[in-house]
Structure 1
Amino acid sequence: MNTLIKLEIVRALRNKRFMFFSVIYPPVLYMIIAGGAGSAKVPGTALNLNLYYMVSIAAFGAMTAVLLGNSERIAKEREKGWVRQLRLTSLPGRGYVMAKIAAAATVSLPSIVLVLATAGAVKGVRLEVWQWVAIAVATWLGSFVFAALGVAIGYLASGDAVRPVAMLVFFVLAFAGGLWMPLTFLPDWVQNIAEWLPTHAYAGLGQSMEVGDAPRAKDVALLVGYLLVFAGLAAWRYRKDTRKA
């Protein structure tokens, strides 16, 4: 499994389009969105817009890397027969799923760090050292949830359908979870739904730490629950695909 993880990381780092959209694009997007946001307070929170969007765009960038990247690569690997070849090895289904999740989450880390660095160096965001570290680590660990979702989508959708399916899931979760704009700007029914979405809980980890608090137990529990569901779905689809081969 370790060998597969290393191979996946090297493949991702060599993909220039992947590196641009998952590593370079998020800090640029943060500058565009937060550039005119200033230090105005987000209604209903103790955060200003610079802080709010720092965590949201870091989460958005990590999701781009692990969800979209994972789903498309897996669907293409299935079509080309690479997954079939892996089944001939001693690698178990859970090993394949965990390798994909771990590799995707690893390459999401540069995106998170760059967004945080941009916020501090360009937008003047000031936090304690422990807050910077805790936000980076929490955002990275939270990305495992969406890496698992990417693996599941890669097995649920065909090669032709995987991109629109993954994009639809990605944008719905990002919008309804409050990554693009504060939930207080959205209708009440969207806010009620967002409370149970993994993206809202994901951003909530860093937002709690930005004000000096520990992550909410509800956010942590939701993310752990979604991780188990998505990883289980991915492993089930892998085994089902194996029986068809």
Structure 2
Amino acid sequence: MAAQAWSPLRCYWLEAKHELLRLMRTPSFVLPTLLFPAVFYLLFAVLLAGSSGKGAAHYLLAGYGVFGIMGAALFGFGVTVASERERGLLRLKRALPMPQGAYLLAKMVTAMVFAVLISLILAALAVAFADIALSPRQWMLLLLVNVAGVLPFCALGLYIGSRVNASAAPAVVNLLYLPMGFLSGLWLPLQLLPDAIGWLAPVWPSYHLGELAQKVVGGGAGSPAWMHLGVLMVFTGVFFVLARARLARCD
């Protein structure tokens, strides 16, 4: 009886464990996901910050944290779901005696683990090279924003994976990932960009997550946190529903 009661939990655990191990053993995913935010932070916040000093280091700590977790979620969902759907793995998963949500939960947990790793790497670089000193509460809140912040991009990545084939998925993800990072003010403050970009920035989920992260480190545009949180929750719900409907129609 005990073994039967715990078997669903074991299914969730094993699915998440093997999904994480699979991606950890994929250098083409691990290296860009973990190294790009770190390299960009060292380059722009430490080496090229110039007179901006700690102001730029604080801003880019929040910005590149969001940029990094976006990549982990979008590529972890968009590319892998498209590939697994095309190879028939989703049909196989449906036929197996496993909880229906284990597949998606495993991918979400994996994205969150990568969000933790990206956050820790950036925090270590910020302390060691940019002399950043946040309070323990700020560090924990920044970690929370990054870890929970993968969910909107998991939803978007899932929708992409449900719509495009495996060969097109990386291109589609890149077409969204890189422009969103720039147009949301994650790389440069929106005040330094053309006014049109600033007006359109609230369209992107990355802008709202970036504003939450900036508020943690002492920045942000002044809009209330609940507004950004609400937009992200609606965005997440809409794209999960759209992706679920699309996947339900897939053979």
Q: TM-score, normalised by structure 1?
A: 0.89
SS in 1 for 2:206: helix
Aligned to 1:160: 167
Q: 2:49 aligns with which of 7, 25, 37?
A: 37
In the TM superposition, residue 123 of structure 1 has moved relative to its aligned partner by 0.8
Match of 1:226 in 2: 235
The question of whether the paired residues in 2 share the 8 Å contact of 1:101 and 1:144 is answered with yes
1:93–1:235 contact (8 Å) kept in structure 2 = no
Question: Is the CA contact 2:15–2:102 (under 8 Å) kept in the aligned structure 1?
Answer: no
Shift of the 158–87 alpha-carbon distance from structure 1 to 2, 3 Å rule, reads same
**Residue 235 of structure 1: SS of its match in structure 2?**
helix
1:206-225 superposed matches below 5 A: 206-211=213-218, 216-225=225-234
**TM-fit CA distance, 1:95:** 4.5
Contact 2:62–2:210 (8 Å) recurs in 1: yes
Whether the aligned pair in 1 keeps the contact of 2:66 and 2:210 (CA below 8 Å) is: yes
Partner of 1:44 in structure 2?
none
Q: Tell me the residue number matched to 1:111.
A: 118
RMSD: 2.1
1:12–1:18 CA contact under 8 A, matched in 2: yes
Deviations 1:162-200 (A, max 9, x none): 111111111221111111211111121211111232111
Report if aligned partners of 1:148, 1:227 keep a CA contact under 8 Å in 2. Answer: yes
Counterpart residue identity of residue 127, structure 1: L
Secondary structure, counterpart of 2:52 in structure 1: coil
Aligned to 2:153: 146
Which residue does 1:239 correspond to in 2?
Answer: 248
- Please list every run of 5 or more consecutive structure 1 residues that lacks an aligned counterpart in the other structure: 42-46
Q: Which shifted more, 93-102 or 117-126?
A: 93-102
Q: How does 1:73-222 map to 2 (within 5 A)?
A: 73-91=80-98, 94-211=101-218, 216-222=225-231
Structure 1: how far apart are the matches of 2:236 and 2:142?
19
Contact 2:59 / 2:219 at 8 angstroms: preserved in 1?
no
Q: Give the match for residue 9 of structure 2.
A: none
Deviation at 1:155, TM superposition (A): 0.9
Q: Which runs of 5+ in 2 are unaligned?
A: 1-11
Query: For residues 212 and 228 of structure 1, what CA distance do their matches in structure 2 show?
Result: 28
Amino acid across the alignment from 1:219: H
CA distance in 1, matches of 2:97, 2:169: 28
- 1:23 counterpart = 2:34: yes
Query: Which residue identity does 1:11 align to in structure 2?
Result: R
User: What are the superposed Cα offsets for residues 39-90 of structure 1, whole Å, 9 maximum, x if unpaired?
Assistant: 528xxxxx81111111111111111111123211111112222112101124
**2:69 aligned partner:** 62
Aligned to 2:55: 48
Could you tell me the percent identity over the aligned residues?
A: 29
Amino acid at match of 1:15: T
Determine whether 1:2 maps to 2:9: no
C-alpha contact (below 8 Å) 1:27/1:115 kept by paired residues: yes
Which residue number in structure 1 is paired with residue 8 of structure 2? none
**Structure 1 contact 30–53 (Cα < 8 Å) conserved:** yes
User: Measured at CA, do residues 205 and 36 of structure 1 come closer, stay the same or move farther in structure 2, by a change above 3 Å?
Assistant: same
Contact 2:76 2:107 in 1 (8 A): no
Tell me which moved more, 53-62 or 16-25: 16-25
Aligned pair in 2 of structure 1 residues 236, 167: CA closer, same or farther (>3 Å)? same
Amino acid at match of 1:75: A
Deviation at 1:3, TM superposition (A): 2.6
